[in-house]
Structure 1
């Protein structure tokens, strides 16, 4: 049995960019619901939208042409383009029709989080013990790991928590590890996934003790010099073992993913075995396979135990995994504060990370309304109240989980544009804009319009479901004007209509002539 555990490779450097490639973010999912019928006051005549060039209330001709090529009717779209500071839109179509926004809904969640919690907000993860370390460094009794929903509790952050605990003089734990996940309602995550793909990273459910996105990241590397195939995994879990029987093969790569997907199975002795078998061609090169497997409890337990041992800590016996609450009077062994919300928001929007967005959404409700554990219902009420206080009443807004990974969520292009204008004028506007993918440069837009003039001048959140393509954000035009741009396509052929969005961005960059 060959085992190679990577110590602390930069987890997000490997994991988050895969979302932009469609591996972690919501991509290609089925059956997005059709948009609701648009309101009468938002209706524009087909003639206005089809005029040469562009009608002030319609769509640019280049956009209409692209929609026709994709066989998407204008009735299945919603657009709103307005210059910042202007009183009337430059282009508007079905603008008040509630649409499925896919991941552009993350703009509502991240703006709300920045304003309600503050860019400097940090999540807490705390380690308690039944007793203080004795003179020999032994803690007699159980230890308690309590989470408050940190979206980015990755190995590097867990190691900091462990280092703080070790600095108290603790060397040995003579007891069990109890996980306190009570900050989130226990019903969260009990429902099914949107597409039935339970092992996909984009479908990971939120949790008060989310560790490393509950995702195992395997790196498969052919090594022709030794005629072997190396396999490594992040994060290190105490109970995880690798059985690497991959043989190096010659010839073309072919379907590498079918041969490089491990079988992950629990063993009778409490370990979990990740087995690789078969052949892997040198021509395949290095690949990363992500599997969201095991439970939140198993991930948090295995991650803490592994980090404790890697830091030189010991256990008098294999600690049992228990779930419960921290008892009153427990000794605070270590308190860790995660990365600031400003950094979390950047990861959420740049890479469209669903579980991080859901963690933030739940945290908003729990921190602002402290009447009980986090729930989506509590968060929806808090966000609605926050919108109403700012004059952004949105009667057609439908909030579900705050990430856009939903067939239920709805918002109109007009309401999204109001939110974006409000955000731009707010004190957190620069932080929000900095979190957005830059066209042709990074995040989910790094490969879009890379040679066009608009590249580097559009800051847009993308959204993708099987029947949805969405864009929302800001475009800096060639003449120096800044525009708010929102575009929703809800149709079975939405995937073929990307050219319509590209045409819209280029038209706005040219100054919406």
Structure 2
């Protein structure tokens, strides 16, 4: 196994079935942006320099539009297209992640005594429902009592611990959740603050062993304002404090944060499900550690398939799931423990095995939540064309957000003729906006469209310009003579 010297891995993406060696060199119909789009930029006070675009009909030997298309730009969440494509190729659409339960103890007369290990392999979707199904299987095996230590094994993933607030100073926002081999509920903790009569309550449906809630919300006549703060204590202890005011008219308020770790949350969930729902008994403590080779398997739970999970990654742009995919690809290609570096190397290795080379591309975590990531619109288009002809095309297309219908495109192009005929992955960061996908156009052809905009005004002013661009592709390009 050969790795690059740094995480600045130059990875590849895909190539259309029609040889693009000549297609990439062929002159586009529009070497710059169409006049209508240039005017839209001027109307918004934006320069065309910060925008890259590449448009090409499926099966055409030349681009329709190629504007700054070779420039490497920050793609934001459009990067998830690359992660998803490689995951389909390396893992396969039917891949399921296991969660294993094993023991070095004894099982006698329904009593499981000794160390019990729960080992994760990076399942992106393991949640309370999955845990309930897993524990129900143990009860069906006749186990009614667990005595000893519960040991949560997250050793399948490794790599440097990343400060979740390093990206933007907001460590408790759900989009900054970090990957874990034994992921649980995407690290999310949900809270509800509500008033009933003269009593104010703050509750959580996802308690954690190390979590303390402090309720300092006061009664009010008119005000509905609640604030939260998080404080770390000794060890892994965490306190979430709620302050503010709630009047009688105030509705229940919900909050979702990433404030604790999977092991503490899972231990609390196991206690609740096993003793209250399944009427079992527990006399346990928990810790995080590795499963020894001598441990005997008791049960294996499996996640949903990659094909079932991919719409959440792409349509809904789930960051932590994309991070899980990148590491899983790394482990599949190069073995455990999975690391971001192995994930990046696995992307490079897989794409090179397909004869693909994107020398400008840089990948950091697979989600696009990065100031480091780079790719060109020309190569995004090549990726889209390759995937369109690929054997997993149906899964790939169904994972994308449909214009005006669902996912991150639900509120866009709703009243346009593109509604239901455009399939996209979007991306936004500060100073970044992007969109890439397919348009089934009025001329009966399918076009790959890739737009990346790196400009201080891109996020606030770029969306309408991009929508106008997509509509132009839908209606206008068939008028380009000779195309």
Q: TM-score normalised by the shorter chain: which range applies? A: 0.7 to 0.9
Q: CA separation in 1, counterparts of 2:39 and 2:355? A: 37
Residue 189 of structure 1, CA deviation: 3.4
Name 1:322's counterpart in structure 2: 287
The answer to whether 1:313 aligns with 2:277 is no
Distance of aligned partners of 1:302 and 1:96 in 2 relative to their CA distance in 1, 3 Å threshold: same
Pairing 1:147–2:120 present? yes
Cα offsets for 1:195-226 (capped at 9, x unmatched): 12111111111111111111112234555xx4
Q: Take 2:228 and 2:52, find their aligned partners in 1: how far apart are those partners?
A: 40
- 5+ residue gaps in structure 1? 1-40, 49-54
- Indicate whether 1:125 and 2:99 are aligned: yes
For 2:367 and 2:356, the matched residues in 1 are separated by 20
Structure 1 segment 397-476 matched on structure 2, within 5 A: 397-476=361-440
- The answer to whether the 8 Å contact 2:438/2:446 transfers is yes
Q: Is the Cα contact below 8 Å between 2:126 and 2:303 reproduced in 1?
A: yes
Deviation of 1:247 after TM superposition, in Å, equals 5.1
1:207 to 175, 180, 197: 180
Per-residue deviation, 1:344 = 1.4
Q: CA deviation at 1:511?
A: 4.4
| Pair 234,110 (structure 1): closer, same or farther in 2 beyond 3 Å | farther
- The reply to whether residue 295 of structure 1 matches residue 245 of structure 2 is no
RMSD between superposed Cα atoms in Å = 2.7
SS at match of 2:381: helix
**C-alpha distance in 2, partners of 1:278/1:252?**
9
CA displacement at 1:483 relative to structure 2: 0.8
1:62 Cα offset (Å): 2.8
Kindly state the Cα deviation for residue 60 of structure 1 after the two structures are TM-superposed: 2.3
Tell me what 2:171 maps to.
198
SS in structure 2 at match of 1:175: strand
Q: Quick one: distance in 2 between partners of 1:392 and 1:314? A: 56
> How many Å separate the matches in 1 of 2:296 and 2:314?
38
Q: Is the 8 A contact 1:146 1:326 kept in 2?
A: yes
The answer on whether the counterparts of 2:165 and 2:176 sit within 8 Å (CA) in structure 1 is: no
Q: 1:331 to 1:187 in 2, by over 3 A?
A: same
Deviations 1:292-314 (A, max 9, x none): 10234323333333333343232
- In the aligned structure 2, how far is the partner of 1:90 from the partner of 1:410? 23
Does the 8 A contact of 1:237 with 1:305 survive in 2? no
Alignment of 1:71-470 (within 5 A): 71-135=45-109, 137-189=110-162, 193-221=166-194, 226=197, 231-238=202-209, 240=211, 242=213, 244=215, 246=217, 249-251=220-222, 253=224, 256=225, 259-261=226-228, 274-281=240-247, 284-310=250-276, 311-316=278-283, 319-370=284-335, 372-470=336-434
Distance 1:276 1:196 in 2: 20
Measure the CA separation in 2 of the matches of 1:171 and 1:493. Answer: 60
Shift of 1:446: 1.0
| Equivalent position of 1:58 in the other structure | 32
Instruction: Render the CA deviation track for 1:5-41: whole Å, top value 9, x for unaligned.
Output: xxxxxxxxxxxxxxxxxxxxxxxxxxxxxxxxxxxx9
Q: Is the 8 A contact 1:467 1:492 kept in 2?
A: yes
Q: Verify the 8 A CA contact 2:103 2:295 in the aligned structure 1.
A: yes
The 2-side partners of 1:438 and 1:231 are apart by 38
Cα distance in 2 for partners of 1:120, 1:220 equals 41
Deviations 1:275-304 (A, max 9, x none): 434422455534421111023432333333
Secondary structure of the residue aligned to 2:118 is strand
Q: Quick check: 1:500 aligned with 2:465?
A: yes
Contact persistence 2:208–2:260 (CA under 8 A): no
CA drift at 1:391: 2.6
Partner Cα separation in structure 2 for residue 398 and residue 156 of structure 1 = 36
> What is the alpha-carbon distance in structure 1 between the residues aligned to residue 401 and residue 409 of structure 2?
6
Structure in which a larger fraction of residues adopt strand:
2
Matched residues, number? 454
Match of 1:490 among 448, 454, 465: 454
Q: What is the deviation of 1:240?
A: 4.6
Secondary structure of the structure 1 residue equivalent to 2:443:
coil
TM-score, with normalisation over the residues of structure 2?
0.87
8 Å Cα contact 2:164/2:177 also seen in 1: no
Given the two structures, how large is their TM-score scaled by the length of structure 1?
0.82
Is contact 2:164–2:176 with CA below 8 Å preserved after alignment?
Answer: no
Q: 281-290 or 357-366: which moved more?
A: 281-290
Runs of 5+ unmatched residues, structure 2: 1-22
Cα displacement (A) at 1:343: 1.6
Once structures 1 and 2 are overlaid, which stretch shifts more, 181-190 or 138-147?
Answer: 181-190
Query: How far apart, in 2, do the equivalents of 1:328 and 1:352 lie?
Result: 37
Q: 1:481 aligns with which of 409, 421, 445?
A: 445
Q: Which residue of 2 aligns with 1:19?
A: none
Query: What aligned pairs does 1:32-43 form with structure 2 within 5 A after superposition?
Result: none
1:391–1:328 CA distance, 2 compared to 1 (3 A)? closer
Q: 1:252 to 1:279 in 2, by over 3 A?
A: closer
